[in-house]
Structure 1
């Protein structure tokens, strides 16, 4: 009987390359777009890279006949692979970019959203820029780099200031504003600081809440109360010797935050956003990783930004749609912040003018502490809100009723006996152009829902048409009065509104903001500011009044009322408080929007909505799984999720690229379902089966 051939289990490399004497095997995560290949493989560590090939560095390896990027996760003694191992070709820089905490956060995010670790790392770590990396490492070796002056210079460079080399080469091209708007931003930052009040008195024996939520009111700094609240929390953290991560939704908030931090003499910060050049972004990311800065501010791209001894995460306006990443696995910056706060045991502050459903649920279960002021303090810090009174005002049906004209004129030119201070007036319109909303073209009857008689909304003259009250949806329109299928516009956009205002107030300056021409900040000069939703400029001193016209309904979604309230609250929060004469005219007919703004209490309004959603089992009390693809493929994926017993299919409809299925499952099964979905996706990829797009907890799924 022949004896079995001996199997060599020792580690060897292809081509007999000398290996590292200790831990010669590297576990490398391949950065591959194919799901079943985006995993770890064993590679040999050549002797020449033994000292530099440390866990967390980027490497280049041969995979399927070509060089690919990867991350070295760990070094071990041996491999289960039989035969010689391919060797690591080279290192992509000397820096250990993937530390244990960042790896844990990315793994948790991948489980949360049913994606691959490689996909999350692609979002978390910017592409390497050799020249930028060399500059940061050189600065780290220079003693002067640690002085406050050098830190200030680094922060200004991150913020988009043009260096001498960039000046010689041409414009930086990063969108940095210079000139009059830069001066206004500086004044805005100084105004925020000059309006700061004494810190709130608290019980010294009681420890402050570590994770909290704040629904801000205009107060002494209309529109910028979130900066004042964030500064108070950030200063305490920095004084304790820890770092701060501050997230904002878009570049406008980033600009005003930079100006305020500079005015507050907090210059030791880096800016990280997708609008930066690859060099600037990589430099800012490295400064946080290497501990050269103690504060990083940025948009959703900064949610994964590394910081040494992170002590506080601030997330501003967490319900903003800009926080939802549009690349797989589609994580939301708010959820990444929650995961990171738990993993790294940090303080957390959510501050916004509205209140998201997710944050309110965490408040109600006690995970977050609500530090929002209530009662008289909140009412006095908010403007007075007027709503149309159809019974008493015979002209309330007009697009700009007589009451709105009166508020506008009083704010622009107050009478001496009233004692008011003149200021700009904001006129918020749904969108640019002329005609956003429709009625019957024949009889001019307002288009109403055949089920509940509420006003229908549409995106164009050819539909589709939908009802925001009951969810009715139709591709065609039929007038209930004359049966006509033709529609015409009855609500005008920004361009038409500006024409009407110029005819009525010819001597008044009018500034437009919207579309491709969005203004960030204006001074206190009395003028009319006509802005589309979301493009309202900040004003030094705040607006004297706001006229909120023609509500733009976000669409037939479960969160459409939430978004409408958020849009109105953001505009109203730019207006001075009632103690300073601030007034708002609200043109919406929706009772939820009216009641929320008149009381200026989004937390209570959201709490009432959550009570209904909890009974119905809607988010945020359940997780949502959206699958898009061929119907048979969706069924196959759902059939493999049998381990989640409470998975109920809620919705199945036709989509542009096949069918769309929306299902719900308990929050407690979140990581289990996410991991299982990722496994199913990888398995189908390995079998070359058609892929199904997976999105978990997309706000637009329902």
Structure 2
């Protein structure tokens, strides 16, 4: 005889705990690292949490016998689960941090990168800090009281004080920056034309791509352009979110905003902040205490009330690619957020990335890059080695480069605009990053792992960065000679050469852990590795870009070389102010782009070949890492994937496959489902990375 079906008697909780009278079931997203468990489960809402258990709040629940964090997604009347439900143990905070907009953005990002929503929210929402939260909520309560109070002058002062205290706590890191940053901010204010705000149609929420030239603010024209767009957006009653790639740009931008008289306050969000500072700034944006939020990669998810414009500076910078699952790129998060929340979008940079240029070509973004004459006038004059006219052009620092440096450093020059600091950019740090035997020219390699050796001087010590081998002496494995010669000279060797050739000239090194944010306009030499060039007040008078910059054997190596050279060249004054650049690269694509200061045309030509070959950004790529059988199973289950290459590395393999852009969401969902299914079956995992620039 068949058993009778159970009768639904309503929602009940384990332990006979009284539940809420209305919507007693909460769907809670568990923060769990295992893919098939990082999903929503039903829990009973105790009667004591009937009012505080709101969608978006953080909660603590029991899962598999342990207390785990989670987010309350929604409350409903009933559950499909048969039997009593486990209850919510604790409401971590009364603040609904998971807003509907952030939930939609997190879901779209997880789908785009074949990840879980829990992984995305772990990147998007910082850890809670109780003291910071208490301070912000106190300021919020004061604001609400002032809004309904009739004694506006007195209460307004109290609200202002509370807001200032909150700002100080959140931005304390910026306040302790070098004095040069503050002076640089004042300089930016004096040189930023305020009437440019009228040229940005904020009310229309435009989507714009802009490539900058030095112009009147060398190295900082991206701030000038961004401030113009931000002022227009603020005037329209909306807020601004501004992303930069690292802490140096964040410090400079924060200083510029502090010195702008027409901008009241801003919040800073960065991974370098303390947990208290970060949570304070995050909550201030959520509650609408600030109109401008600036930050690095993770700030792409930051809550901003009445968001009207997203600004992203230098979108091709590798710092925007998150190294935590599901490995999202901040540029793509900005694109998704602009679509979901219908906001304006401004990509401003010194180069032009392949992804942005494709969006310009299809009409999704409007290009506002300066025209040819305006671009040439605002750019410095660029020189390249001329083997036919200069017999010493083969030298690492040719005679022409020495002339340019001396002209910029000599205080008695007739053209005073040409006098100022000189930037010397070298691709690598160290003394001899790569060296060879002086007798047989054999490249020096580690006796343990065969990787190239490095040295800090001609007489050692010698070390291997791969396996840690260290030796005070060198012996060539081929001819047993103890003498070495350089193949690639690093920053240390370059500084030594410059000190010998120019005694009495101040030389400043920048690289590694010691990177100045900004310097004044004193005539000196700054030797910096790529990406570590400090900003100079008024711009550099001259830049010497040494050696040939080849970042590596991947499809975008030329793109990266162009980007690194342009980031240095844009720090130099315009040709009308006497700025000059000496470019040592032999790559024709890099030479052509830097001499014309036209990365848009260069990238447009490169995309023509990639379009014909079906390479990114015209197709998306996915990198699969794991056992070969697991990779084969994933490829077999997703027919849209076309395998391009596969490499073996011990027991694991790495395969790169491509798929059409139009199939992006479907492929992302299929891959996420496969990974969760393999996790539930305890099969060997396959790691997935979508659109990693270094996959090809």
Alignment of 1:167-178 (within 5 A): 178=176
Which of 570-579 and 9-18 deviates more? 9-18
Check whether the contact 2:201–2:232 (CA below 8 A) recurs between aligned residues: no
Aligned with residue 256 of structure 1, among 240, 247, 252:
252
Which of 208-217 and 304-313 deviates more? 208-217
Alignment of 1:209-358 (within 5 A): 210-265=206-261, 266-358=263-355
What TM-score do you get using the length of structure 1 for normalisation?
0.89
Deviation at 1:418, TM superposition (A): 3.9
Check whether the contact 2:270–2:296 (CA below 8 A) recurs between aligned residues: yes
Task: Tell me: CA distance 1:35–1:512, structure 2 relative to 1, closer, same or farther (3 Å).
Answer: same
Aligned with residue 567 of structure 1, among 564, 567, 573:
564
Whole-angstrom CA distance in 1 between matches of 2:296 and 2:430: 29
Task: Tell me: CA distance 1:505–1:316, structure 2 relative to 1, closer, same or farther (3 Å).
Answer: same
Residue 527 of structure 2 corresponds to residue 499 of structure 1: no
Aligned with residue 623 of structure 1, among 616, 620, 625:
620
Task: Tell me: CA distance 1:400–1:44, structure 2 relative to 1, closer, same or farther (3 Å).
Answer: same
Tell me the residue number matched to 1:69: 69
Task: Tell me: CA distance 1:558–1:205, structure 2 relative to 1, closer, same or farther (3 Å).
Answer: closer
Whole-angstrom CA distance in 2 between matches of 1:489 and 1:427: 19
Whole-angstrom CA distance in 2 between matches of 1:562 and 1:251: 23
Whole-angstrom CA distance in 1 between matches of 2:576 and 2:56: 56
Aligned with residue 371 of structure 2, among 360, 364, 374:
374
Whole-angstrom CA distance in 2 between matches of 1:134 and 1:56: 18
Whole-angstrom CA distance in 2 between matches of 1:83 and 1:283: 42
Q: What SS does the corresponding residue of 1:191 show, helix, strand or coil?
A: helix
Residue 409 of structure 2 corresponds to residue 412 of structure 1: yes
Q: What SS does the corresponding residue of 2:28 show, helix, strand or coil?
A: strand
Whole-angstrom CA distance in 2 between matches of 1:587 and 1:609: 22
Check whether the contact 2:189–2:260 (CA below 8 A) recurs between aligned residues: yes
Aligned with residue 583 of structure 1, among 580, 586, 590:
580
Residue-by-residue CA offset, 1:175-203 (whole Å, 9 max, x unaligned): x574xx63211110111111123645988
Residue 394 of structure 2 corresponds to residue 397 of structure 1: yes
Residue-by-residue CA offset, 1:153-188 (whole Å, 9 max, x unaligned): 533432225xxxxxxxxxxxxxx574xx63211110
Which of 651-660 and 484-493 deviates more? 484-493
Task: Tell me: CA distance 1:196–1:155, structure 2 relative to 1, closer, same or farther (3 Å).
Answer: same
Task: Tell me: CA distance 1:568–1:73, structure 2 relative to 1, closer, same or farther (3 Å).
Answer: same
Deviation at 1:294, TM superposition (A): 1.3
Task: Tell me: CA distance 1:50–1:149, structure 2 relative to 1, closer, same or farther (3 Å).
Answer: closer
Whole-angstrom CA distance in 2 between matches of 1:336 and 1:418: 47
Check whether the contact 1:461–1:488 (CA below 8 A) recurs between aligned residues: no
Whole-angstrom CA distance in 2 between matches of 1:259 and 1:277: 19
Residue-by-residue CA offset, 1:637-673 (whole Å, 9 max, x unaligned): 111112x2xx211010123661100000000000100
Alignment of 1:389-468 (within 5 A): 389-413=386-410, 415-437=412-434, 442=439, 444=441, 460-461=452-453
Q: How many residues align?
A: 653
Tell me the residue number matched to 1:127: 127
Deviation at 1:292, TM superposition (A): 1.1
Whole-angstrom CA distance in 1 between matches of 2:580 and 2:402: 12
Q: What SS does the corresponding residue of 2:540 show, helix, strand or coil?
A: coil
Which of 510-519 and 649-658 deviates more? 649-658
Q: What SS does the corresponding residue of 1:83 show, helix, strand or coil?
A: coil
Check whether the contact 1:547–1:586 (CA below 8 A) recurs between aligned residues: yes
Whole-angstrom CA distance in 2 between matches of 1:525 and 1:5: 86
Whole-angstrom CA distance in 1 between matches of 2:420 and 2:3: 96
Deviation at 1:437, TM superposition (A): 4.7
Check whether the contact 2:314–2:349 (CA below 8 A) recurs between aligned residues: yes
Tell me the residue number matched to 1:114: 114
Alignment of 1:449-488 (within 5 A): 460-461=452-453
Tell me the residue number matched to 2:690: 696
Check whether the contact 1:314–1:349 (CA below 8 A) recurs between aligned residues: yes
Q: What SS does the corresponding residue of 1:142 show, helix, strand or coil?
A: helix
Tell me the residue number matched to 1:48: 48
Tell me the residue number matched to 2:18: 18
Whole-angstrom CA distance in 2 between matches of 1:566 and 1:335: 19
Q: What SS does the corresponding residue of 2:210 show, helix, strand or coil?
A: strand
Tell me the residue number matched to 1:157: 169
Q: What SS does the corresponding residue of 1:432 show, helix, strand or coil?
A: coil
Whole-angstrom CA distance in 2 between matches of 1:281 and 1:98: 16
Whole-angstrom CA distance in 1 between matches of 2:546 and 2:443: 17
Task: Tell me: CA distance 1:358–1:459, structure 2 relative to 1, closer, same or farther (3 Å).
Answer: farther
Whole-angstrom CA distance in 2 between matches of 1:331 and 1:655: 25
Deviation at 1:435, TM superposition (A): 1.9
Aligned with residue 661 of structure 1, among 643, 655, 660:
655
Check whether the contact 1:414–1:421 (CA below 8 A) recurs between aligned residues: no
Deviation at 1:400, TM superposition (A): 0.5
Tell me the residue number matched to 1:34: 34
Deviation at 1:359, TM superposition (A): 0.4
Aligned with residue 672 of structure 1, among 666, 674, 677:
666
Whole-angstrom CA distance in 2 between matches of 1:499 and 1:73: 61
Aligned with residue 635 of structure 2, among 611, 633, 638:
638
Task: Tell me: CA distance 1:423–1:79, structure 2 relative to 1, closer, same or farther (3 Å).
Answer: same
Unaligned runs of 5+ in 1: 162-175, 448-457, 463-482
What TM-score do you get using the length of structure 2 for normalisation?
0.90
Task: Tell me: CA distance 1:606–1:485, structure 2 relative to 1, closer, same or farther (3 Å).
Answer: farther
Task: Tell me: CA distance 1:206–1:543, structure 2 relative to 1, closer, same or farther (3 Å).
Answer: closer
Whole-angstrom CA distance in 1 between matches of 2:419 and 2:323: 43
Whole-angstrom CA distance in 2 between matches of 1:555 and 1:233: 36
Whole-angstrom CA distance in 2 between matches of 1:423 and 1:513: 17
Task: Tell me: CA distance 1:60–1:184, structure 2 relative to 1, closer, same or farther (3 Å).
Answer: same
Whole-angstrom CA distance in 2 between matches of 1:264 and 1:536: 25
Whole-angstrom CA distance in 1 between matches of 2:157 and 2:682: 53
